[in-house]
Amino acid sequence: MLVNKKHKELFGIILLLFIAIIAVLYEICRPYYNSVNRVSNILEEKKKDTKDYHTIGWLKVQGTTLDLPILTINHKDPPVNREHFSWVLNEDDQYHNVMNILGHNIFNLSSSPKLHLEHYQRFEDLLSFVYYDFAKENKYIQLTIDNKNYIYKIFSVGFIPSYEVSLFPTGEYSREQLSKQISWLKDISVYDYDLDVQNDDHIISLVTCTRLFGYNDMSKDFIVSGRLVHSGELISDYKVTKNNQYKEINKILKGDGENEDASST
Amino acid sequence: MLLQHKIKILLIVLFVFSVFFVASLSFDGNSITKKKSEKLEGETVTTSKKVKCENYTVQEAEDKKKSGFDFFGRYGTEGEFSKNGDFTISISPSTSKSNNPVGSDFELYVEKISIVSLLEQNDDLVDSMEKYTVYNSKDYGPDDYRLSKKKSITISRSEVESLASSVTSADADTVLITLKAVKANSDPMCEGTVFYNVEVGLDSFSSAVSEPIEGVETVGDYYIAPVSIDCNNPKDDFEQSYCVGEKGYFNPGTKKTVTVKDKSSDLKRNGGTFKNIRYALKCDAHSIVPSNSSIAKDSASESKYYVNDEILKASHTTSESFGNYTYHYAPGLPTETVPIKVDTTCTETLHVQYGPPVSVKAGICFEYNVKVTSTVVCKASKVPAPKAATYCNPIPKCYHKTGNWTGANAGPNDSFDMCIQQCDGGKYSDYCSQKCYSSIYTVGEKRTSSILDDYSVQQIKSYRKDKNGRQRITTSSNVDKANALIDSINKCLSLEEKSTLKNSHYTMTNYPNVGTSGGINFYGCYYWDESAKEIKWASGIEGNILENSHGKVGNARYAPGRWYGVHRKTSNYAGYSSNDGFMRKAFSSGLCTASCRWDGCSQTEYWNPAQAKADYDENMKVFNDAKTAAEKASTCSEKTTEFTMKVTEYGTYMKSADTLTSKPSGQNIDEKEKLLGKRYVRDYSKCYQTSDINKNEMYQTVWGFPGVWQDAKSMKISFVQVPDSVFISNKFCLPLDAKTVNEKWWTYYYTAQYEHSTTSLTSQTYQDKCMKTTTCTNWVHENDIDWDKDITYNITGSTDNFGHFGWNLDVSCFYAYSTNPTTGKDCKPSIECDSSSGYTVRSVDLSDMFPSPDGETHSADTTGRDTGFNWTKYATNVKKDPNYVSDPIAYLKETQKNEILLRKRGKSTYTNEAELDYRIYLSREDLRNIKKYVTSDSFSYTDYGSRGKFIPNGSVLSYQSNVLRSTTSNGLSVFNSDNILVDESLLKCNNVDNGKCAQFVSEVKE
């Protein structure tokens, strides 16, 4: 009888230990982000295409309401009053080493952006990344195009002069252009991501409008950029910290920096 | 163990404490490295306080002192503090001949200045030794501070403070200034070198305040310093003004050293005018100038009379605004208004010259004159010219290189933003975002018009209506500001239409079909949008339809920014110009939508040429007006100047009821004749333009007594016209019953006259003028007078509001009158050397009654030399007594003429019974006595002074001839008085008051 009791105890301990190990392993190994299938969504959306609006892919951003089609538009001015879409700066419908995707922001322009409101049908929710807590928890972008899912790890979140977007090359970037773009995106970021980004990595940038710096400063766009997950790389969490450029953002978010004249020309 | 542990802990604690202690001390350097107090150890020396004359023994000096002789006073050393603490020393070495005068060329210099304390003090003795402790001293050379009668020296407060600064002893309280003679043996009473000390309290240098002169405001600082002026090269405005004023009085090529008092600080403190400030000037009471040095009209005589001389100067800068320049740099920018300021600096040099004290007798008339010359040099700074009509073309700066056809604008449009601004002031709240979205963004275009409907007032005012549409001018929600901006832009555009730029054009070479041949006129205005904080472009006209290789691109509704036209860019910038003025490249699918802005011009430059030119033209008008006005400001100004000359006891005279008003243009100075009878002002205070290139201002006046009325017979003086009186112009005449005043000085004057006379006592000129008597004992010398107490300044010449800055001057001097004898047996030769101060009886040649000293033959009508009053026209009286007409000029003419020509008059006077007053019968004995009398040493033909006596009797003066009344040694009369016959019936009364003739006759008979 005594022997059995001892065995039982031992077994219990080993079992618990095993469960713990499994749990830990699970936590370590489970993917940080699970990609979703959006090919069918694309096909559905394509049914609405016109000569001016042409669906080429799908965009999903972890933690946000951004889960919408990507179009090419034969129109100088993508309509604000059309909901649930984004557009790419390229003229074709191909995947390129740099994908620059734009979307309108109408309802989340203020200096204290809200998160995940129901009527955010465009890129309003992209502004969630302006909060550090959110940025800590959400690090992945999914692009679906040509029936393939491309997963990107976010490495840059920042504010840029609007005109810079009009300077973005279109189509496939040359090596030099790519290297310059990656370098620049790292520089403008308000966070430092513990992530290895090579000068020839494929990247994606999501851009939208903001009035975070005040009514009279309409010259800034908000940009979130990611680099393509490397072959064999785990979809896992990685560290992100605020850097010095975040101080100004923090002030504005707290209401100290709200200043209609905040922009510097 | 425990004990060892405790000891270790204690040692550690002590060590740590020591470390901290040392460390704390090392931060407090003073407590460790504090130096020993640097007290200067005084060096004890002995030196003399009073004058040291090396070859006098102490006993001799004491004896001298006891006899009342003030050795120290021989040098007349005085010291005075100015308000800023500088100390000025002056000397007046005694020139009195009575006790070996020092001489006016005696010079001293400051040998040493020491900071001392007095240890031992002796009585005031010559050559007494004093003991001091000297803490610091400095030696000087003979040329550093050199003193003479004419030159004082000023030791600056800073010099003394610098010496005293290193002295820490509280005992040091005296500044010792050692003066030493430049030359040895320069004082005849001292053999060797004179030196002595002047002691001044050290405190006085820091707290000196000059004593105010009673009755006169003296404010501000002044300096007295010798200035050497070369009028060939005047160094500054003062020298220039001085030279202009002195032209004609000294050769401009001569270098002259003058002493100047600068009153600029008084002027500045008083707001640029001397109103309420008066300057008092006193004549030098030591001056002895013979009273026959009358005012002449040439510079040589004047320089002899004007022994007192002061030069005052003042400079003042005024700033005046002569309008404004206006700069409208661009619509939307604030208009800059710049006042046109011109500084004018005027320097006025006032040269005040005035006469010496006067010694007079009752009935004597004298002049006293003051001459003031002012020259003014005014220089105005240049009127600044307006900014040139240059302009800047803002440069387009676009952030796009290759051209991207699609717009990247991922945000709301302007209407939405404006809606938000109105809704929540630009906060983009959720509520307002939703509301504005609903109102602005709907499906379809028809809602677009509602944008205008809803915000029509706002938006229309922000737009400027062009010919073919509207251009958004500003995002400002301030309606008034937006309106004002649009008005301003429209005004600018209207100027551009008229400007020459209209005729300039550029060709867009890639667009051959451009309407008219050659090119298109494009214009517009750059302006400032305050709400967007940007330079923007407002197009003026509609352009033409443009094409490129792809066909029509669109309507060039707006003219591109001027920059493009000026720079004539071709294909690179050919394209479609949008309403913001930027040329955008056309692509197959649209235009470049790059973000652009205008840059490169500051907000204090013009951005539009037509406006620059319009402003410049207007500002040049203002400039020319300002120049004219500024030039006028520095020319003569009208003045009302008052002149007064008064004698204290006899009241104020010549006050301003008839003051003269000067006028800007000068007048001929010969017009002085107009002034006689009312006042005596030789030239009056008018403003002249000098003849030098700059035509500076000049004022000049000489003024004196207006004159007195004198009764022709009694010579009584009055200050108003009375019947039978004659006006004696330019003089004041002392009444016959005048009180004596300044008697001591009067005697000093005559003492000095005699002692300083350059005329030899044996010269004929002296003999002619003066009569010999015996030695006079009542001499007065310089040291016998208390120059402060014994002088009453009873003549004051004043001027108010003279010259450019309106100087107010009070020139004080005095006359002296005494009845002390200057002639007669108790005195030395009479010093009545001019005809106006006494009476002379002479025997005359009737053909030439008043011969000139050089013996020239004169016509019967004139006299060769000045005559006494009774032979002048002023003694003319043709009204009083028809039986006795006093007309000396007529009588003189008749006598001399007839003697020469007709032999009817002349000596016939003596035979005309009607002319005789006396008849004397001479016996032989009489003749013998006369001969003996006139050949004696006590009497000679030319000995005018002792021929008789003048005895005043009220207003009458009687003359008693010594010849008739003298007695021989045995007491008998020269003449037998019985032989003197006075025919009473023949006796007439000359110049006698009415009713007194009988009295006079009886006196004559006695």
Separation in Å, CA of A70 to nearest CA in chain B:
14
**Residue from A66, A68, A80 to probe the interface with B (highest B Cβ count within 10 Å):** A80
Q: Return the closest-CA partner of residue A197 out of A215, A209, A183.
A: A183
The strand pairing partners of B44, in sequence order, are: B133
Q: Cβ of B400 and A163 within 8 Å?
A: yes
Q: Taking CB atoms and an 8 Å cutoff, what residues of chain B touch A167? A: 399-401, 404, 594
ipTM above 0.90, yes or no: no
Q: Give pLDDT tens digits for B667-709.
A: 332 333 233 223 445 555 555 555 555 556 667 777 777 777 7
What is the rounded average pLDDT of the residues B965-977? Answer: 55
**Residue from B409, B431, B477 to probe the interface with A (highest A Cβ count within 10 Å):** B409
Separation in Å, CA of B585 to nearest CA in chain A:
14
Q: Cβ of A109 and B597 within 8 Å?
A: no
For B410, the closest chain A residue by CA position comes to A104
Q: In the Cβ-directed half-sphere of B527, how many Cα atoms lie within 13 Å?
A: 28
Q: Please indicate whether residue B968 or residue B782 has the higher confidence score (pLDDT).
A: B782
Separation in Å, CA of B470 to nearest CA in chain A:
20
Query: What tokens appear for B516 in the block?
Result: 């008219």
Residue A12 CA to residue A18 CA, distance in Å, equals: 10
What percentage of chain B carries pLDDT values higher than 70? Answer: 47
| Strongest mean pLDDT among B94-103, B355-364, B866-875, B976-985 | B355-364
Nearest CB to B426 within list A74, A163, A260:
A260
Q: Cβ of B428 and A168 within 8 Å?
A: no
- pLDDT-derived band at B97, boundaries 50, 70, 90: low
**Residue from B428, B448, B599 to probe the interface with A (highest A Cβ count within 10 Å):** B428
Residues 6 or more apart whose Cβ sits within 8 Å of residue B851: B845, B858, B864, B865
Q: Give pLDDT tens digits for B534-563.
A: 899 887 655 444 444 444 444 444 567 777
Residue B282 CA to residue A108 CA, distance in Å, equals: 93
Q: Return the closest-CA partner of residue B560 out of B586, B582, B534.
A: B582
Print burial letters for B490-500: b (CB count within 10 Å at least 16), e (below 16): bebbebbeebe
Q: Return the closest-CA partner of residue B842 out of B769, B735, B750.
A: B769
Task: Note the pLDDT of residue A66.
Answer: 94
Task: Note the pLDDT of residue B417.
Answer: 78
Task: Note the pLDDT of residue B643.
Answer: 75
How crowded is residue B921: how many other Cβ atoms within 10 Å of its Cβ? 11
Residue B61 clears pLDDT 60, i.e. is over it: no
Q: Cβ of A167 and B406 within 8 Å?
A: no
Query: What tokens appear for B797 in the block?
Result: 């010449």
| AA identity, residue B542 | E
Task: Note the pLDDT of residue B26.
Answer: 35
The widest CA-to-CA distance across chain A, in whole angstroms, is 86
Q: Taking CB atoms and an 8 Å cutoff, what residues of chain B touch A110? A: 427-430, 433
Separation in Å, CA of A92 to nearest CA in chain B:
13
Residue B557 CA to residue B470 CA, distance in Å, equals: 10
- pLDDT-derived band at B719, boundaries 50, 70, 90: low
Q: Cβ of A162 and B409 within 8 Å?
A: yes
Residue B430 clears pLDDT 60, i.e. is over it: yes
Residue B500 CA to residue B613 CA, distance in Å, equals: 10
CB A197 within 8 A of CB A226: no
Task: Note the pLDDT of residue B830.
Answer: 40
Q: Cβ of B430 and A166 within 8 Å?
A: no
Name the least confident of A143-152, B571-580, B879-888, B928-937.
Answer: B571-580
**Residue from A53, A77, A166 to probe the interface with B (highest B Cβ count within 10 Å):** A166
Contacts by B571-578 with C-beta closer than 8 Å and gap 24+? B571/B509, B571/B510, B574/B508, B574/B509, B574/B510, B574/B511, B574/B548, B575/B546, B575/B548, B576/B546, B577/B539, B577/B543
CB B745 within 8 A of CB B791: yes
Q: Cβ of B434 and A218 within 8 Å?
A: no
- What does the angle CA B568 – CA B572 – CA B574 come to, to the nearest 5 degrees? 70
Residues 6 or more apart whose Cβ sits within 8 Å of residue B496: B502, B523, B524, B525, B540, B608, B609, B610
Q: Cβ of A111 and B427 within 8 Å?
A: yes
Residues 6 or more apart whose Cβ sits within 8 Å of residue B145: B109, B110, B153, B155
The rounded radius of gyration (Å) of the Cα atoms in chain A is 22
Task: Note the pLDDT of residue A192.
Answer: 96
Residue B46 CA to residue B120 CA, distance in Å, equals: 9
Residue A252 clears pLDDT 70, i.e. is over it: yes
Nearest CB to B427 within list A76, A105, A110:
A110
For A78, the closest chain B residue by CA position comes to B410
Residue B741 CA to residue B736 CA, distance in Å, equals: 14
Residue B44 clears pLDDT 60, i.e. is over it: no
Nearest CB to B407 within list A74, A77, A216:
A77
Residue B986 CA to residue B974 CA, distance in Å, equals: 24
Q: Return the closest-CA partner of residue A109 out of B685, B412, B858, B390.
A: B412
Q: Give pLDDT tens digits for A22-40.
A: 888 776 667 788 888 899 9
Domain A39-254 has CATH 2.40.260.10: yes
For A85, the closest chain B residue by CA position comes to B410
Residue B101 CA to residue B96 CA, distance in Å, equals: 5
Q: Cβ of A106 and B441 within 8 Å?
A: yes
Nearest CB to A166 within list B442, B534, B595:
B595
What is the rounded average pLDDT of the residues B206-224? Answer: 36
Place of tokens 């995940």: A116
Residue B222 CA to residue B172 CA, distance in Å, equals: 29
What is the rounded average pLDDT of the residues A10-28? Answer: 82
Nearest CB to B417 within list A102, A114, A218:
A218
**Containing H/E element for B802?**
strand B795-802
Query: What tokens appear for B240 in the block?
Result: 């220039």
User: B533 CB near a chain A CB, below 8 Å?
Assistant: yes
| AA identity, residue B506 | Y
How crowded is residue B390: how many other Cβ atoms within 10 Å of its Cβ? 11
CB A229 within 8 A of CB A152: yes
What is the number of residues in chain B? Answer: 1006
Q: Please indicate whether residue A161 or residue A176 has the higher confidence score (pLDDT).
A: A176
Average pLDDT score, chain A: 86
Task: Note the pLDDT of residue B34.
Answer: 24
Name the least confident of B7-11, B428-432, B985-989.
Answer: B985-989
For B412, the closest chain A residue by CA position comes to A106
Q: Give pLDDT tens digits for B600-611.
A: 888 888 898 888
**Pairing assessment for the beta strands B195-201 and B174-181 based on DSSP bridges:** antiparallel
CB B92 within 8 A of CB B134: no
Q: Taking CB atoms and an 8 Å cutoff, what residues of chain A touch B595? A: 161-163, 166, 219
**Containing H/E element for A154?**
strand A148-161
Residues 6 or more apart whose Cβ sits within 8 Å of residue B535: B330, B394, B526, B527, B528, B529, B597, B598, B599, B601, B607
CB B105 within 8 A of CB B94: no
- pLDDT-derived band at A150, boundaries 50, 70, 90: very high
Task: Note the pLDDT of residue B116.
Answer: 85
Average pLDDT score, chain B: 66
CB B258 within 8 A of CB B242: yes
Q: Cβ of B594 and A166 within 8 Å?
A: yes
Beta strands in B573-677 (DSSP E): 576-577, 583-584, 586-587, 590-591, 596-599, 639-647, 660-662
DSSP per position, B59-97: HHHHHHHHTT--SGGGG--EEEE-TTS-EEEE------G
Name the least confident of B108-117, B199-208, B707-716, B980-989.
Answer: B980-989
Residue B698 CA to residue B377 CA, distance in Å, equals: 9
Q: Give pLDDT tens digits for B437-474.
A: 888 775 443 333 333 333 444 455 566 665 545 567 77
**Residue from B429, B431, B433, B434 to probe the interface with A (highest A Cβ count within 10 Å):** B433
Q: Return the closest-CA partner of residue B861 out of B889, B883, B899.
A: B889
Q: Taking CB atoms and an 8 Å cutoff, what residues of chain A touch B430? A: 107, 110, 114, 117
Q: Cβ of A214 and B417 within 8 Å?
A: no
Task: Note the pLDDT of residue B746.
Answer: 84
Residue B74 clears pLDDT 50, i.e. is over it: yes
Task: Note the pLDDT of residue A144.
Answer: 95
**Containing H/E element for B619?**
helix B609-633
Q: Give pLDDT tens digits for B730-778.
A: 778 777 777 888 988 888 877 766 655 444 444 444 444 444 333 445 6
Q: Taking CB atoms and an 8 Å cutoff, what residues of chain A touch B401? A: 167
User: How many CB pairs below 8 A link A and B?
Assistant: 122
Chain B (390-449) residues lying within 8 Å, Cβ to Cβ, of chain A: 399-402, 404-413, 416-417, 420-421, 425-430, 433-434, 437, 441-443
Nearest CB to A105 within list B401, B411, B589:
B411
What is the rounded average pLDDT of the residues B795-801? Answer: 85
Q: Cβ of A77 and B420 within 8 Å?
A: no
Task: Note the pLDDT of residue A263.
Answer: 31
Q: Cβ of B413 and A162 within 8 Å?
A: no
Q: Cβ of B410 and A74 within 8 Å?
A: no
Task: Note the pLDDT of residue B311.
Answer: 87
- pLDDT-derived band at B569, boundaries 50, 70, 90: very low
- What does the angle CA B467 – CA B473 – CA B475 come to, to the nearest 5 degrees? 145
Q: Cβ of A221 and B433 within 8 Å?
A: no
CA torsion sign, A184 to A185 to A188 to A194? negative
- pLDDT-derived band at B242, boundaries 50, 70, 90: confident
Place of tokens 């939307």: B332
Q: Cβ of A102 and B428 within 8 Å?
A: no
| AA identity, residue A164 | E
Task: Note the pLDDT of residue B287.
Answer: 80
Name the least confident of A188-202, B591-605, B690-704, B776-790.
Answer: B690-704
Q: Please indicate whether residue B965 or residue B501 has the higher confidence score (pLDDT).
A: B965
Beta strands in A62-139 (DSSP E): 67-73, 86-88, 98-102
Name the least confident of B215-219, B334-338, B490-494.
Answer: B215-219
Q: Give pLDDT tens digits for B987-996.
A: 555 544 445 5
What is the rounded average pLDDT of the residues B274-300? Answer: 73
Q: Cβ of A166 and B417 within 8 Å?
A: no
Residue B556 CA to residue B545 CA, distance in Å, equals: 5
CB B390 within 8 A of CB B612: yes
**Pairing assessment for the beta strands A203-209 and A98-102 based on DSSP bridges:** parallel
